[in-house]
């Protein structure tokens, strides 16, 4: 194997740093996307639960009314 020069090592280090930076950006974006999905799902479930509670309350009131 040929010996690496200082310039070769420097270029390899820059390439590795760029790759690490790119991979970190991808992972951060994926985490943010997952968090947004989770938040949206939780909000949807909360809305459904609230709607169910309102419906049950309305049914209870209508049963009490003669």
Report pLDDT for 5: 92
How many Å apart are CA 15 and CA 9, to the nearest integer?
A: 10
Residue ranges for the chain with pLDDT beneath 70: 1, 65-66
Report pLDDT for 25: 85
Give the three-class secondary structure for 65: coil
Report pLDDT for 52: 84
Report pLDDT for 18: 93
Mean pLDDT of the chain: 86
Locate the domains of the chain by residue range: 1-66
How many Å apart are CA 61 and CA 65, to the nearest integer?
A: 6
Report pLDDT for 17: 94
């Amino acid at each position: 194997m040929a010996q690496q020069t200082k310039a070769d090592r420097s270029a390899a280090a820059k390439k590795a740093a760029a790759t690490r930076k790119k991979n970190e950006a991808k992972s951060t974006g994926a985490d943010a996307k997952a968090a947004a999905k989770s938040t949206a799902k939780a909000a949807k479930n909360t809305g459904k639960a609230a709607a169910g509670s309102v419906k049950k309350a309305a049914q209870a009131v209508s049963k009490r009314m003669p």
